[in-house]
Amino acid sequence: MPRYIVERTVGSLTQEELADVGRRSNEVIEDMEGIVWIKSYVSEAEGKIYCEYDAPSRDAIMEHARRVGLPVDKISEVKMEISPAMFK
């Protein structure tokens, strides 16, 4: 299954707004085949969220975003995952 990083410009969100988006995202994922939300990173300074997913395609990521009501600035497919432990 391909892995993707999704960049979203969301501006400033409160903790309540983030929780609401997270709940909506989980609800939508329950109705979609093959999408797994791994985790997300929030940059308050940039007003962005970076989300990591396993999904069958970019189109599936876009459909998830449409259903949740989230913006998508950029979708990057991850070809390889590395960590510092690999280079010791």
The residue ranges of the chain whose pLDDT is under 50 are none
Taken in order of first residue, the domains within the chain and their CATH numbers are: 3-80 (3.30.70.3090)
**What pLDDT was estimated at residue 2?**
96
pLDDT (tens digit per residue) in 34-57: 999 999 999 999 999 999 999 999
**What pLDDT was estimated at residue 64?**
97
Separation between Cα atoms, residue 76 and residue 8, nearest integer Å = 12
DSSP string, 36-87: EEEEEEEETTTTEEEEEEE-S-HHHHHHHHHHHT---SEEEEE-----GGGG
